[in-house]
Amino acid sequence: MNYGRQIAGVALDIESIKLSPDKPFTWASGNRMPIYNDNRMLLYDPKNRRLVTDAFWEIAKDLPFTVIAGTSTAGIPWGVSLANMFDAPFVYVRDKPKDHGLRNQIEGIDASEGLDGQHVLLLEDLISTGGSSVKAVQALRDAGGVCNNCLSIFNYGFDEAIRLFGSLNPPCNTYSLLDYATLLEVAREREDITPDQIRMLEEWRADPFNWGAKHGFPKVEK
Summarised one tens digit per residue, pLDDT across range 114-146 is 999 999 999 999 999 999 999 999 999 999 999
Q: CA–CA distance from 30 to each of 24, 46, 70, 212, 217 (Å)?
A: 11, 34, 27, 10, 11
Question: Across residues 167-189, what is the average pLDDT?
Answer: 97
- CA-to-CA distance for 193 and 119, rounded, in angstroms? 42
Integer-rounded Cα Rg, in Å, for the chain is: 18
User: What mean pLDDT, rounded, does the chain reach?
Assistant: 95
Note the pLDDT of residue 110: 87
**Residue ranges covered by each domain of the chain:** 3-214
Note the pLDDT of residue 221: 85
**CATH for 3-214?**
3.40.50.2020
Share of the chain above pLDDT 90, in %: 91
Note the pLDDT of residue 102: 53
